[in-house]
């Protein structure tokens, strides 16, 4: 049971990451809707010469950089804990949680924590690099409204790809919470995993932010149709 509860959050994290694109084919998620707005952002950037786009991009990159640095610190802390498993078990025993940890279970669980935060670091690092490329491409394109649609689409896709990797890193943090709950109880880890999964699904498909973003996208689409007519 302890081993299943330890691996269960990671399995749910992997299944969600690979399964959600299949669901998005039938119902657009918040991420898909925001990708449409990113395309509008790039299109609008071709018609203005202001520092606003650089400021927005800088704010995005600052957030990604902060989380990437945090992931590095967490990885280092977990590596240190991996070399001190007996001491860690003694410390947990003093908390009075009523659990008996075997050294093998503890080592595997700490390795899972290490893996999930290492994955978050690589996702944030890749996202940061892609946002950097996006800034360069935004600066390189024409800003007189003559940029071709293919160039706008390509730059917008790069922005969406960077956002996707950023979301992957954030999602790793979410599923690290039930891994931490495992130290208290096997069943608590499973319950927290299901709650986390439900929270993410609600946020992506049924949240107030999803409804607002969808309404804004619809309004923008209607306005674009009116301009064309």
Q: Nearest 5 degrees, angle CA 195-CA 201-CA 202?
A: 85
Which residue shows structure tokens 């009523």?
Answer: 98
Domain ranges of the chain: 2-228
Contacts of 23 (CB under 8 A, 6+ apart): 29, 205
* pLDDT of 58: 85
Q: Which pTM was predicted?
A: 0.89
Phi, psi angles (nearest 5°) of residue 213: -65, -40
* pLDDT of 220: 79
What are the 10-residue block averages of pLDDT along the chain, 229 residues in total? 85 91 89 91 86 84 92 92 81 70 84 94 95 91 86 93 94 93 88 95 92 87 72
For residues 30 and 200, is the Cβ–Cβ distance under 8 A? no
Q: How far apart are CA 161 and CA 137, in angstroms?
A: 14
CA distances (Å), origin 126, targets 10, 131, 164, 165: 21, 9, 10, 7
């Amino acid at each position: 049971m302890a081993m299943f509860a330890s691996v269960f959050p990671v399995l749910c994290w992997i299944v969600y990451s690979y399964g959600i694109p299949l669901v998005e084919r039938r119902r657009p998620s918040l991420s898909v809707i925001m990708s449409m707005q990113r395309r509008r952002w790039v299109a609008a950037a071709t018609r203005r010469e202001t520092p606003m786009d650089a400021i927005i991009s800088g704010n995005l990159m600052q957030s990604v950089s902060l989380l990437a640095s945090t992931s590095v610190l967490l990885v280092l802390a977990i590596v240190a804990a991996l070399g001190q498993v007996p001491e860690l078990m003694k410390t947990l025993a003093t908390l009075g949680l009523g659990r008996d940890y075997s050294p093998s279970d503890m080592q595997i669980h700490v390795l899972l924590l290490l893996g999930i935060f290492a994955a978050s670091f690589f996702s944030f690092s890749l996202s940061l690099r892609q946002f950097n490329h996006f800034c360069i491409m935004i600066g390189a394109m024409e800003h007189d409204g003559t940029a071709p649609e293919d160039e706008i689409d390509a730059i917008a896709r790069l922005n969406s790809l960077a956002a996707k990797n950023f979301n992957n890193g954030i999602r790793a943090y979410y599923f690290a919470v039930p891994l931490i709950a495992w130290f208290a109880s096997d069943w608590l880890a499973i319950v927290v995993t299901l709650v986390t999964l439900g929270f993410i699904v609600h946020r992506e498909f049924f949240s107030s932010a999803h409804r607002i973003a969808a309404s804004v996208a619809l309004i923008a689409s209607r306005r674009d149709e009116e301009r064309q007519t």
